[in-house]
Structure 1
Amino acid sequence: MTESFRYAGATVEIVEAATILAAARVNPVELLRRATFPPPVRRAELTVSSAGTAAGPVHVFSAEISTSVSDLPQKERIRAVVLGNDPVGTLLAKRIEAGDPIATRIVDGVGTAAVAAYRKLGLDRPSAGAPDREPETAVLADATAGLQAAVTYQADGSLVRLRAEVPRDDVRPEHLTAMVRLVLQAVSELLPPSSEPLAGRRYVISRESIPRVATTTQEVTLDQVGGLADVVGELRQIAVSFRHPEAMARWGARRPQGILMYGPPGTGKTMLSRALANEIGADFREIRTPEILDKWLGGSERNIKQIFRDARRYRVPTLILFDEFDSIISYAGAGGDAASQAINAVAGIFKQEMNDLIEVNPNVIVVATTNFPHRVDDSLIRSGRFDVKISVPKPDEAGRAEIFRKMIAQLAAAHEEPGFTMFADGLDLAELARLSHGMTGADIKEALRRVQLAKAMQDARTGGMVDPITQHDLADSVRNLLGLP
């Protein structure tokens, strides 16, 4: 769902505001990072995050608007000092934007010398006789959504900060829209007087504004999953049902309480579980075998009861993952020895606890993953306990090409910068997909890791000037991983 409106001459589009708010429950969501504004505004950033307060959890909307060069990151500050607006500066700026390493070194070197000279002359210190003044404060409000933002103005006018809080249970897409309006209002106040100071500009607030690079699996999103379009589509539907309880209640519908994901090792079942939690905006709790199985009689049963007792008390959306589910309750009903009886006891309690979990606490969804679905008794995963069963297969050739594309794009976005290119042009992803027959997403990630390590070691030995990763490098890594000549 996209909302569009005009403000100060600019067109603003907010795409899937509910999804942005849900994602902010787990990780801060940064918006407007790539937006540009008329001078003197150099940057405006809006962040949506979650925080705990004495009154309960809240969504925090915070923004910073800067007109100061000194407030930019160090590299941008240096370049702003050196490049200027003269023809040489413009030429250098274009060369840097094109990734010219020589131009980058020239500017960085001259810029460093310039900053050192400023510091030596004392020009980086505040002028004597001009003591710092206290920042001014005010309040901006949007009457439509009932949102009030506290505003702090730096005394010299170089920095404006806005902050608003809304209780998590009360937050709505209208609050995000209101905060965007207030940020644009604060920006407009810093611009030259005009009836439409942002005329002709377009700002899109969407998932594309959310950083796509996951530095850890905790931050992975469904958008980053490649080669599993059908699986991702099904998980998106589950996330929608979780995020819209009012629609479920209106129709008397019950969203899935449990999901079983099964398939070969390395196909991304655990990653998909984390991505689903982030899509919902849920906390993530992973249960591993040692947390349940206990060598003492009755210990395992107590552990499983405690896990579900805690689950009934969660007051925020929570995804509970039972990874390697078969190792916890495998072969239920088989055998009459003491070990089998203990396993049966754990499985029996698991069934009882799952029976009414969704009625007691609809904030919780349970995901179980296994490489060996035949080891799990059918009564454990019947409908009503695990309503959705998803096969996560090895990717086909088209899927492997998509995995290569997404992983390479994420690595480039994370590490490339002016003067450093990680991957060469002309990569043939279709050929890599053909060569990697039978590989999983984990295998492809390992092939890339080996190439990255080889390039890093070469860089360490030579002191830089290493060629980007080529098609030949990637193909060799795939062949070596598969044991091919």
Structure 2
Amino acid sequence: MSETRPRGESFEYAGAIVELVDAPTVLAAARVNPVELLRRADWPSPVQRVDLTVASADRPDGPVHTFSAAISTAEEPLSKERIRKLVLGTDPIGLLLAKRIEAGDPIATRIVDNIGAAAAAAYKKLGLDRATTPVTQREPGTLADAVVGLQAELTYDETGTVVRLHAEVPRDDVTPAHLQAFVGLTLQAVIELAGPESLTGRKYAVSREAVASKVPATTQTVTLDMVGGLADVVAELREIAVSFRHPEAMARWGARRPQGLLMYGPPGTGKTMLSRALANEIGADFREIRTPEILDKWLGGSERNIKQIFRDARRYRVPTLMLFDEFDSIISYAGSGGDAASQAINAVAGIFKQEMNDLIEANPNVIVVATTNFPHRVDDSLIRSGRFDVKISVPKPDEASRTEIFRKMIHGLIAAHEAPGFRMFAEDLDLTALAAASHGMTGADIKEILRRVQLSKAMQDARTGGQVAPITTDELLASVRELQGPTGPR
């Protein structure tokens, strides 16, 4: 049987409730890649941001787990949140525009981005982009938790706006109690900046996954932590996100982060979802370019559309991920023929090449992602290095990955919908059996399996007025067979 509910425990610290979700998994994952926690939490003034990271390192005495925290009182100068607040405000028109942007309206997005560029320039000229609250203490020190014997070094950066904590524990000795202790020391440092009562009534979730929220995950809110399976793909996307979020490190070494990413693979494997998750990992706006926005029946119209899209991209003043979904339908078989249709396609491809050549130099805030089910239909010169520096194959999930996809999707549904007195899923779900039965299926198929069972249960509930049993393994297996049909997955 497989664990279907994330294991978590709560503790109180200085009036705040902290939920530590599945600490053993956090520590295990940190052996492979750094794990970032608390990044999207809300903090009391003057604290603007807290980055807490668990990672692994090799030391002369052996491997260790490292716990690091950076507590910043400096506002990010041109962050998406600040620009949006500056431009949109809270008046009815601002709220309407915000809703239109959230719904993906390209015209509303273009209006706000253009106004935002001018506002950001004025903001910077007035010096308001450097608004900071220096911390008062400047001497390095130590914070300690006597219960587990954890000591964290406390240092301050040269600007006086960032407090850093660092602690190490031998890998063989590390336990969830060390993670909890370090979270407590981080909150102690926050209290020293914000005051003794500043955390009272607040709630924090220390988790790799967004399971603490009662809002169902959507394609707009998906993160890389929510992606089931595809460990290698997720690891590579994390590397891209790190390079995007740390331009100072790139500049110091004269390195250039990828400006273009091509993801290819069968339909339903999650390429679009991964693109959205990458944007959220970066903290970027998500701009999806659909085929009708480019292709035009009138001569020269498609070329003008491409130029306009990239002209707008050069003016974005907040981090933005531009997604060209189903890329092959926009740029297909470049150079393959001499008829009028092929010449039109070649012209669009040519303009696209020109626009991609210097995009990162013109605007380092933008990264371009293209997805396709048919990579052979895209001309190699269009996606060469320098335009699309990273190419990632997104395959159909194997059995282990399908188990992970089932687990994460069910975790999300439990977090969003279960409540006292209501259980959505039975305790003894056999995820291994579900993964084996769903051979050849994709993440989209697994989502449909769950949707069908949810709908069936909801209809039973509506007819009987409640008293419907939780979803069982047998019901999910029946849904798998139904979706597969007589000839396998469709």
* 1:215 paired to 2:222: no
Mapped to 2, the partners of 1:171 and 1:375 lie a distance apart of 51
Q: Contact 1:304/1:350 (CA < 8 Å) preserved in 2?
A: yes
Instruction: Give 1:143's aligned residue.
Output: 135
Mapped to 1, the partners of 2:191 and 2:282 lie a distance apart of 23
Unaligned runs of 5+ in 1: 1-6, 32-47, 59-140, 147-169, 192-201
Offset, 1:54: 8.0
Instruction: Give 1:45's aligned residue.
Output: none
Mapped to 2, the partners of 1:297 and 1:336 lie a distance apart of 16
Structure 1 residues 126-179: Cα deviation after superposition (integer angstroms, max 9, x where no partner): xxxxxxxxxxxxxxx773499xxxxxxxxxxxxxxxxxxxxxxx99687x9776
* 1:280 paired to 2:288: no
Mapped to 2, the partners of 1:173 and 1:214 lie a distance apart of 34
Equivalent residues in 2 for 1:420-435, closer than 5 Å: 420-435=422-437
Instruction: Give 1:236's aligned residue.
Output: 238
Structure 1 residues 268-316: Cα deviation after superposition (integer angstroms, max 9, x where no partner): 0000000000000000000000000001111000000000001111111
The 1:416–1:55 alpha-carbon spacing in structure 2 relative to 1, beyond 3 Å, is closer
Structure 1 runs of 4+ aligned residues shifted over 6 Å read 7-19, 53-58, 170-174
Structure 1 residues 58-100: Cα deviation after superposition (integer angstroms, max 9, x where no partner): 9xxxxxxxxxxxxxxxxxxxxxxxxxxxxxxxxxxxxxxxxxx
TM-score by length of 1: 0.63
Report the secondary structure of 1:185's partner residue: coil
Instruction: Give 2:153's aligned residue.
Output: none
Aligned counterpart for 2:303 among listed residues 283, 290, 301: 301
Mapped to 2, the partners of 1:385 and 1:399 lie a distance apart of 31
Instruction: Give 2:370's aligned residue.
Output: 368
Q: Contact 2:424/2:470 (CA < 8 Å) preserved in 1?
A: yes
Mapped to 1, the partners of 2:163 and 2:374 lie a distance apart of 42
Q: Contact 2:325/2:370 (CA < 8 Å) preserved in 1?
A: yes
What is the one-letter code of the residue matched to 1:439? M
Aligned counterpart for 1:262 among listed residues 225, 250, 264: 264
Instruction: Give 1:391's aligned residue.
Output: 393
Mapped to 2, the partners of 1:145 and 1:315 lie a distance apart of 34
Aligned counterpart for 1:465 among listed residues 439, 464, 467: 467
Instruction: Give 1:438's aligned residue.
Output: 440
Structure 1 residues 170-193: Cα deviation after superposition (integer angstroms, max 9, x where no partner): 99687x9776655562258x89xx
Q: Contact 1:12/1:204 (CA < 8 Å) preserved in 2?
A: yes
Structure 1 residues 458-479: Cα deviation after superposition (integer angstroms, max 9, x where no partner): 0000000000000110000001
Offset, 1:211: 4.3
Report the secondary structure of 1:300's partner residue: helix
Instruction: Give 2:81's aligned residue.
Output: 50
Q: Give the greater-gyration-radius structure (CA).
A: 1
Mapped to 1, the partners of 2:84 and 2:296 lie a distance apart of 37
TM-score by length of 2: 0.63
The 1:359–1:416 alpha-carbon spacing in structure 2 relative to 1, beyond 3 Å, is same
Mapped to 2, the partners of 1:53 and 1:292 lie a distance apart of 27
Aligned counterpart for 2:354 among listed residues 352, 355, 358: 352
Mapped to 2, the partners of 1:56 and 1:391 lie a distance apart of 39
Q: Contact 1:23/1:278 (CA < 8 Å) preserved in 2?
A: no
Identity %: 74
Aligned counterpart for 1:419 among listed residues 417, 421, 446: 421
Q: Contact 2:336/2:342 (CA < 8 Å) preserved in 1?
A: yes
Offset, 1:360: 0.9
Instruction: Give 2:197's aligned residue.
Output: 186
What is the one-letter code of the residue matched to 1:237? E
Q: Contact 1:19/1:279 (CA < 8 Å) preserved in 2?
A: no
Mapped to 1, the partners of 2:485 and 2:19 lie a distance apart of 50
Equivalent residues in 2 for 1:100-139, closer than 5 Å: none
Mapped to 1, the partners of 2:136 and 2:474 lie a distance apart of 58
The 1:246–1:51 alpha-carbon spacing in structure 2 relative to 1, beyond 3 Å, is closer
Mapped to 2, the partners of 1:291 and 1:284 lie a distance apart of 16
Q: Contact 1:304/1:349 (CA < 8 Å) preserved in 2?
A: yes
Mapped to 2, the partners of 1:57 and 1:477 lie a distance apart of 46
Q: Contact 2:266/2:395 (CA < 8 Å) preserved in 1?
A: yes
Aligned counterpart for 1:318 among listed residues 309, 313, 320: 320
Mapped to 2, the partners of 1:215 and 1:203 lie a distance apart of 18
Q: CA RMSD in A?
A: 3.8
Q: Contact 1:260/1:368 (CA < 8 Å) preserved in 2?
A: yes
The 1:210–1:240 alpha-carbon spacing in structure 2 relative to 1, beyond 3 Å, is farther
What is the one-letter code of the residue matched to 1:50? E
Instruction: Give 1:455's aligned residue.
Output: 457
Instruction: Give 1:335's aligned residue.
Output: 337
Offset, 1:227: 1.3
The 1:288–1:429 alpha-carbon spacing in structure 2 relative to 1, beyond 3 Å, is same
What is the one-letter code of the residue matched to 1:336? G
The 1:436–1:172 alpha-carbon spacing in structure 2 relative to 1, beyond 3 Å, is farther
